[in-house]
Structure 1
Amino acid sequence: MSRVDVVRAAMVEAMKAKDKARKDSLSMLLSALKNAEIDKRSPLTEEEADAVVKKEIKQTKETLELAPADRADIREEAQARLAVYQEFAPEDLTEEQIAEVIKSVLAELGIENPAPSDKGKIMKTLMPKVKGKADGKVVNQVLAGILSK
């Protein structure tokens, strides 16, 4: 079953349960997935569907951060939407797993004592390996920790 079908089935369940907030969130996610399929002109792969879900999560987090403090309705709606999106998001790599990937990249590049000047070269090789599996900010923080040792 594709991610689109899974989200559509969850949306139908939410409609039957008369859970309007969940249905609306799932409807927005389904629209994003369908639009990505239309843009691609073929069904999405698992990685592409994960990327769409992560993008929606990121946008919702930005909405939450930028919402004025006196607009509790916007904040509650964004938090509810975020909770629904998290159900369909792939598991991110832990910091330990990211560190392992970084170590394998360092071995692949032949860098024994990484210096801050090597960061660009390392990131160029590292990011395609963790794309869709980890947040770039977390990867950057873990790499910075390794480079500072």
Structure 2
Amino acid sequence: MLRDTIKAETITAMKAGNKERTATLRLIGAKIKDRDIELRTSSKEIDDDVLVTEVLQKMAKQRKESITMYVDGGRDELAAKEEAELAVIEEFLPQQMSEEETRAAIEAIKSDLAADSIKDMGKVMGELKARHGAELDMTKASAMVKESLT
């Protein structure tokens, strides 16, 4: 399980004395615990690896946005810190689909759903997330779906 891998990596980083990696891994653990607490009141059952992957994707997206803002603001030292955290987070995420693979997946879903207009975008996006949610940057995928449906 992904959660156990992260815990093991945290212990390894602590033993190695790698403070930056340890801090990032502890941050990941804290975010996962926060998500666990949120789900206590929920009646939905979510697979543990799916939950951890969702948390990691959200953290990666936040880091990417922060990097952009820091670079635009001329704060390169803060951008470097965020990039280091992003590198650790991405170690645990599934391999992302290439642009060609994403376009092929979109076309397959369009043909499966007989989607041909922008009105079908919600259906296509829902199915795309269900089939390939962990391997896709949904922001980029959304733009590709919109482009293919217009």
Query: TM-score normalized by structure 1?
Result: 0.80
Deviation digits for residues 95-131 of structure 1, max 9, x if unmatched?
A: 22222322222222234xx344543443344333332
The alpha-carbon distance between structure 1 residues 15 and 129, as it changes in their structure 2 partners (threshold 3 A), is same
Which residue does 1:58 correspond to in 2? 61
Distance 1:72 1:44 in 2: 38
Structure 2 counterpart of 1:59, one-letter code: Q
Residue identity opposite 2:95 in structure 1: E
Q: Which residue of 2 aligns with 1:89?
A: 93
Q: State the Cα distance separating 1:133 from its structure 2 match.
A: 2.4
The corresponding residue for 2:34 is: 35
Partner deviation per Cα, 1:7-61 (whole Å, 9 max, x = no partner)? 1111111111111111111110111112222322388521121111111111111
Q: Is the 8 A contact 1:36 1:44 kept in 2?
A: no
SS of residue paired to 2:12: helix
Deviation of residue 6 (structure 1)? 1.1
For 2:109 and 2:127, the matched residues in 1 are separated by: 7
Report if the CA contact (8 A) 1:57-1:82 is conserved. yes
Rounded Cα–Cα distance in structure 1 between residues aligned with 2:47 and 2:35: 8
> Is the alpha carbon distance of 1:101 and 1:11 closer, same or farther for their aligned partners in structure 2, counting shifts above 3 Å?
same
One-letter amino acid of the counterpart of residue 96, structure 1: E
Does the 8 Å CA contact 2:67/2:79 hold for their aligned counterparts? yes
Structure 1 residues 104 and 83: alpha-carbon distance in aligned structure 2, compared to 1, 3 A threshold: same
After superposition, the Cα gap between the structure-2 partners of 1:94 and 1:72, relative to the gap in structure 1 and judged at 3 Å, is closer
Secondary structure of 2:101's counterpart equals helix
Give the aligned length: 145
Corresponding residue SS for 1:66? helix
Decide which of 101, 108, 114 is 2:105's aligned counterpart: 101
- Segments of 5+ residues of structure 2 without an aligned counterpart are none
Aligned pair partner of 1:138 in 112, 137, 140: 140
**Gapped regions of structure 1 (runs ≥ 5):** none
Q: After alignment, is 63-72 or 90-99 more displaced?
A: 63-72
Percent of pairs with identical residues? 26
- Inter-CA distance 6–144: structure 2 relative to 1 (3 Å threshold): same
Give the Cα–Cα distance (whole angstroms) in 2 for the partners of residues 96 and 80 of structure 1. Answer: 28
